[in-house]
Chain A
């Protein structure tokens, strides 16, 4: 049964021991806990979560770079712990946000070398390199040493390296991290077309960009603190939240909006406030539209002038907020602050 899937995990977990932990500090960190995932051939599957959620740890386990602490992970029909060599013949991976590659080699040489590792003939490799470099706009840099490329261009070379071997299953870990808007769009377009070209290909993509997951993925798993909180198509995930009416209200006031006072409003499920360019963007999640009147009354009582009010459709960000209770950037900020404090 599990052999039919491109990726299958069952109660997958990973715990890191923290060496040199100070007295009273945690001795271990749970990076993944009870992860159950099923990815079918042909799917473009997204793992969406903030930094530190466990996305990269999961990719590392699935690509045989890291052993799981417990549970089962099967990739292309092979157990990653027992048959890592068989797994490697079917996969490739690319990590975003890094400048990997042999700087002394040219772009073409870097790519050719990795093609050799996969047993691709030189002629076939050169054909593929030519085609892929054209697609990502790197043709004119093919004979340039990769050390002379900018970080973004080096990342593009890295992306080509991943696609070059035409793997059965491709893992992209934050592929657009650090790329400019145009380059990110090019990468997303290429990823989608690569999947459309061959319906047997499977792609697992991690991202903390909501829009990227929403635009690209057939199905999305939302992950936080090592646990998968929800997994479905973006449409289905959002549909579940259409039961709520979501309003975005920009307010102007000379003091902070007191969110505590909103909790008394019956039918208000959640309220968030984010300062934006001198105004405050208040988002309210209501059981019904008529609860909005109570919200406006409360804002008026707090001397907050409403600059704009808009009802909007739920996004994956809303799904994340509903599941975690905070926006993704808030979660990341807390994680970063914790990390800074422990250092």
Chain B
């Protein structure tokens, strides 16, 4: 009976937070402007990368490295959105809406609430990823054949990736709760650092050996590689760094690291949550 109550509590925390997240994500402007924004934002971000690449590589869009960085950049949108989205929910609720204390006082599961808040970010980002990839296929000749894509691997990798990013997000949410100032920058700072160390737009082998190891312990690196392989498997074989590993190897490493980070995230969030209560930070509003 206790288990059923716990499941019910977790479900209502998650589903209500997902509803709230969607309302916040989609209601800030009228639907037409929201649709325009949803298309223009990811294309602008990809456009910067494409222009930089075209200058450096003399517009050689047929090189496998272009597909590597374009798809890496497209899928990396999930990293910033889902991971920093959870941390942002803490900051938004505490500092902007001043509701975090009421959420904490209510009989919900805070981790499930935060995960629920991330759902809307996932949905809007999925749209952005689709727009970015479609643009790449249509206008930049990214060698993506939907008939040959490994959809099973894609869906499996995407699901594991969402769980993995959510665990990283939970850690950031715990940190955000304990920081008075600059907490809004945590998500962006970590997402920015991971962009560099996860092989999103260039292979890890390019990094200096002294910092390359960071890329190998971050699950995002393996996740991005699998996402790319599931879409353009034959082309992806030419990508360096993980070329010696099969998809199964990569999946096992990704699952293993997700488990490790998942356990670490649960422990760290629990401790940081406890620390925030001890220091009276749940309802602080810094107006910073």
Contacts and interface: CB of A to CB of B under 8 A. Distances in A.
Q: Do A and B come from one complex?
A: yes
A103 B97 contact: yes
Interface stretch (B43-51, B145-153, B192-200, B276-284): B276-284
11 contacts: A57-B280, A65-B280, A65-B282, A92-B105, A95-B101, A102-B23, A105-B27, A114-B102, A116-B16, A117-B103, A118-B107
Q: How large is the interface on B (under 10, 10 to 19, 20 to 34, 35 or more residues)?
A: 20 to 34
- Listed from nearest, the 8 A-B pairs whose CB atoms lie closest are A100-B98, A117-B106, A116-B16, A88-B107, A89-B107, A67-B278, A104-B27, A66-B280
Contacts of B277: 64-67
Contact of B98 (A60, A98, A109, A117): A98
B212 interface: no
A119 interface: yes
Given A65-B283, A93-B105, A98-B98, A104 B24 contact: yes
Interface of A: 16, 57, 60, 63-67, 85, 88-89, 91-93, 95, 98-105, 109, 113-114, 116-119, 161, 165
B228 to A, nearest CB: 37
A16 to B, nearest CB: 7
Nearest to A66: B280
Contact of B280 (A60, A114, A116, A117): A60
Interface in B237-288: 274, 277-278, 280, 282-283
B235 to A, nearest CB: 43
Contacts of A85: 107
Contact of A102 (B13, B24, B106): B24
Contacts of A65: 101, 104-105, 277, 280, 282-283
Nearest to B283: A65
Contacts of B207: none
Interface in B84-128: 97-99, 101-108
The B interface is mostly helix, strand or loop, or mixed, namely helix
A118 B9 CA distance: 9
Interface in B2-57: 8-9, 12-13, 15-16, 19-20, 23-24, 27-28
Contacts of A89: 107
B107 A117 contact: yes
B15 to A, nearest CB: 8
B12 A116 contact: yes
Contacts of B274: 67
Contacts of A104: 23-24, 27-28
Nearest to A100: B98
Contacts of A92: 105-106
Contacts of B278: 66-67
A119 B12 contact: yes
B105 A113 contact: no
Contacts of B16: 113, 116-117
A64 B20 contact: no
A83 to B, nearest CB: 12
A148 to B, nearest CB: 13
Nearest to B5: A119
Question: Which of B104, B108, B280 has most chain A Cβ within 10 Å?
Answer: B280
A91 B99 CA distance: 16
Interface in B162-212: none
A57 B280 CA distance: 9
Contacts of B101: 65, 93, 95
Nearest to A17: B279
Nearest to A95: B101
Contacts of A100: 97-99, 102
A312 B19 CA distance: 58
A75 to B, nearest CB: 11
B102 A102 contact: no
Given A102-B24, A114-B106, A66 B98 contact: no
Contacts of B9: 119
A16 B105 contact: no
B280 A64 contact: no
Given A60-B283, A65-B283, A117-B108, A102 B103 contact: no
A102 B89 CA distance: 12
A38 to B, nearest CB: 22
A95 B285 CA distance: 14
